[in-house]
Amino acid sequence: MKKLFTLAAALLAFALQSNAGDYSTWGKLKVVGKQLSSQSGEPVQLRGWSTFGHFDGLEKAFNDEGDFQRMKQNGANLARIAMYINEGRGYQGNQDYNKQWVKDCIKWCKNQNMYCIVDWHILKPGNPNDYSGAEDFFREICQYVKNGGYDNVIYEICNEPNVDTDTDVMGKTVKDVWENVKKYAAKVLPVIKQGDGDAIVLVGTPQWDQGLAWPLQDPLDECGLENVMYSFHSYAGDQRRYLGYISSAAAFLPIFVSEWGLSSHTGDGGDFNEAKKTADMLMDICAGKNLGNQIISWANWSWCDKGEVASSFTNYDGNQWSQSGEYVKSALQKNNDYSKEASKPYKGEAQYFDGVNDFDLDLMKYDEGGVGIAFFDNDEDWKNSCRGACNMGNAGALDGIRDDEAVDLGYTYGDGESGLGDGYYSLGWISQSEWVKYTMDIEYGGIYEFEIFTSNRQHDVEAINKVAFALDGKNCLVEEDGTEYYKVVDLTPCHGGTESTSGYQEWGWAEVKSSYAPGKKFYLKLEKGRHVFAVAFMATSAGLGTVKFKGDPNNVGLNDTKANLNVSIWPNPAENGNVNISADSDAEVEIFTVDGINVYSGNVAAGETSELNLNLPAGIYSVSVKGEQGVKTEKLIVK
């Protein structure tokens, strides 16, 4: 049997799926894996504006159905209805009036074939449990939606939970915010499940919807709801450093950017030219340029003419768009190409784990492809892009190893016990939510123990030193029986930790554990074949020396039988990819480009020859032949 599969063809077919859909084409939405999808399961991206809500003296922040018609005419398929609780004509002041306002918005959006987010807009104070009325509000809105058949509705149960102080976002109080959200969600989610059980529900995250690491390490009980997503907010004027959160978490959580703006986080101020660069990065991340290749929906803040930088109008009645409004219009009218550019193995050679012997990941051999494709580095001084020597580790900055890329390579030091000395390259200067990819050939799929070689530096707050692992953009951290629940573990100091900087130069093996799951043991679930393994630092961390994959001796026979599989590949070099392959046992054949793209998958029967006419471009390819007697990998040159 001969089978030719090209990744390029699959990506092209996906790219042809225009993002210009709306409710009439996509129907009621659902979450498939991590991806927001249409009723038929196709990936979708919702894009539009958030209303400013009802504020006295700001009537032009919202008028009537004409607002939604105008949004639709400018390319939006989504509107977010910000139901403020205290501010302006807030819910607490006039509940019946505001319920009717939300109901009208739902109806008007449906008339325009738009989706809408019903946003319970808490802000100050940031504890959602401090407000009354949420359960009653969502119960009545769900009933209205059900009775009217308005299946264009998404529920956002708490805008921007936070600790309303000047406390550092990475401080211990962030844990309190997430505990508040979990307590609140346990009350509100059952109400929505009862009233509109298959709807999309957005759950806010600490701190002001930027703490995506928290549901990874301390999962939310979703009360039986299948379509829960997590909110992320971003303000391009002063929050570029937080883009790593969404870029890495997209491999582990379904995410919705329910609010973003081109101002500072206050809604005003910021360098607009720099903000546009940050917004461009966010748009790329939302279009799938992230660790999970997740297409992420968004709503811009905000649809009003308040006069702030974030306002879309300088004069609503005069149709005078602001700089922000013009940017968003342009983004809405852009037909995104969702094809994903793959990273490439370092110098064309994948790292190899035979499944039997222990294997140490070489952190220096991270994939090629650059920022957002092979890695995401968040050094604040360079603002996610190379401006001079970006590699801050001593291997790069001092010794010139991959020094033109923003991955901070260094060296490990002797751990004082094992005598390993400077045995590994390390990743250091780790900022929140950086990630790095490594292409691997994995001989045996299975659930493997692993260890981490790390420094002895211990930061003084529990919200940092967190690391996650992905295989092909999906979580691969599991418990022994394969259960996926916790998606992040601690990057534990090797000798108990110290709060002094001297710990940076002490290295050793550390136990893999989670402070949220004491006593649990964690494993990596790996699949056979060529895959991209990624390390994601979900918060600021001290340093990683290597990940050791523990071989399983029960995968017996590989080393003994590898040489017994006889494979012939000819001619080599081959013209246009016209090549013959034979083996002395039934075997699977895969051919990869140097950048890891599979260009052929098929089978060869024992003693027979497969004549392949692949019409491949000139270059170097890797041929993997796998049978019961072992595996052979050989290089194929096409001229």
Is 274 annotated as catalytic?
A: no
Closest by CA to 626, choosing from 355, 360, 365, is 355
**Active-site position among 156, 160, 434, 590:** 160
Largest Cα separation within the chain, whole Å, is 84
Q: Extract the runs of DSSP E, i.e. beta strands, from 8-77.
A: 30-32, 35-37, 47-51
Closest by CA to 301, choosing from 322, 274, 280, 277, is 322
**Which secondary structure element, helix H or strand E, spans residue 14, and what is its range?**
helix 7-15
Q: List C-alpha distances in Å: 462 to 166, 168, 408, 497.
A: 18, 13, 23, 13
Closest by CA to 289, choosing from 253, 329, 343, 217, is 343
Is 511 annotated as catalytic?
A: no
Helix residue ranges, H only, 86-172:
95-111, 134-148
User: Distance between CA atoms of 181 and 167, rounded to whole angstroms?
Assistant: 18
**Active-site position among 259, 368, 443, 506:** 259
User: Distance between CA atoms of 593 and 618, rounded to whole angstroms?
Assistant: 10
Residue in the structure block whose two tokens are 């601690």: 490
User: Distance between CA atoms of 590 and 622, rounded to whole angstroms?
Assistant: 8
User: Distance between CA atoms of 281 and 479, rounded to whole angstroms?
Assistant: 35
User: Distance between CA atoms of 154 and 119, rounded to whole angstroms?
Assistant: 9
Closest by CA to 229, choosing from 311, 295, 327, 162, is 295
* Structure token pair of residue 488: 């992040």
Q: List C-alpha distances in Å: 210 to 174, 201, 282.
A: 11, 17, 14
User: Distance between CA atoms of 260 and 250, rounded to whole angstroms?
Assistant: 17
User: Distance between CA atoms of 482 and 466, rounded to whole angstroms?
Assistant: 21
Kindly give, in sequence order, each residue whose CB lies less than 8 Å from that of residue 342, ignoring residues fewer than 6 positions away: 7, 369, 373, 532, 595, 596, 597
Residue in the structure block whose two tokens are 């039988």: 561
Q: Strand pairing of 409-411 and 425-427?
A: antiparallel
What is residue 467's three-state secondary structure? Answer: strand
What is residue 105's three-state secondary structure? Answer: helix
**Which secondary structure element, helix H or strand E, spans residue 333, and what is its range?**
helix 323-333
**How many other CB atoms are there within 10 angstroms of residue 30's CB atom?**
17
- DSSP category for residue 498: B
What is residue 108's three-state secondary structure? Answer: helix
N- to C-terminal Cα distance for the chain?
Answer: 25
User: Can you state the angle between helices 272-286 and 323-333, rounded to 10 degrees?
Assistant: 20
Q: Which residues are catalytic?
A: 160, 259
